[in-house]
Chain A
């Protein structure tokens, strides 16, 4: 079955970087876009950006441009989200979520989430 498995929880100090992974299985990796969404504690869902695993092209929401890099490794069917210059307000659960063959689609399934805590 289609499955997205993310890396484990991280604790980082302000100013540091974090890299979260999302390993896909059960489908043709390069045929489906992958999105990243975050959720601060007790808050709603915030879309961060999208990567096309086929060519690696990305599109980030303006808020994260210059601070987030999304990459992929087709040899391991894994996408990565790296965020730099972390601040306390980046404390959140980060999800990867599969789109479809179009960059504009619903998300299904979602990874289990990775809690990133930023604290001094």
Chain B
């Protein structure tokens, strides 16, 4: 199974500052046939299901604010929130869909400092 490891487990950032969450996979998520990374990012607020933010590692889902961006390739990926807003307080998960069993990172809890 592909193991997804996020860092840090929790993060406190001041409003308006940058938040960075990392995700490392135990094997490459880059498919050579289409040059795409099979990784997505989700945001989950308390009592709600996860919400898709990013897919193909860096493609922002329609309607997701531009302050959210994804980067990385192969085994190392990053979710960046350029200017933290109060409504961004949530748990964030990375997700590999390169192969089954599909696996998720353990989650990163983002709070306001």
Complex CA–CA separation, A105 to B38 (angstroms): 8
Other-chain residue from B52, B105, B106, B107 in contact with A106 (beta carbon distance below 8 A): B52
Is the beta-carbon distance between B61 and A108 smaller than 8 angstroms?
A: yes
Check B98 for interface membership: any CB of A closer than 8 A: yes
Is the beta-carbon distance between A106 and B49 smaller than 8 angstroms?
A: no
Interface residues of B in 61-96 (CB under 8 A from A): 61, 93, 95
Other-chain residue from B50, B97, B105, B107 in contact with A110 (beta carbon distance below 8 A): B50
Check B99 for interface membership: any CB of A closer than 8 A: yes
Is the beta-carbon distance between B98 and A104 smaller than 8 angstroms?
A: yes
Q: Tally chain A residues at the interface, Cβ within 8 Å.
A: 22
Given A47-B102, A50-B100, A62-B101: A106 and B95 within 8 A (CB)? yes
Q: Tally chain B residues at the interface, Cβ within 8 Å.
A: 22
Is the beta-carbon distance between B101 and A106 smaller than 8 angstroms?
A: no
Check A59 for interface membership: any CB of B closer than 8 A: yes
Is the beta-carbon distance between A110 and B49 smaller than 8 angstroms?
A: yes
Q: Which residues of B contact A (CB under 8 A)?
A: 38, 40, 42, 49-52, 55, 61, 93, 95, 97-107
Q: Which residues of A contact B (CB under 8 A)?
A: 35, 44-47, 50, 59, 61-62, 95, 97, 103-113
Additional A-B contacts beyond A59-B100, A61-B101, A110-B51 (4; CB < 8 A): A104-B100, A105-B55, A109-B52, A110-B49
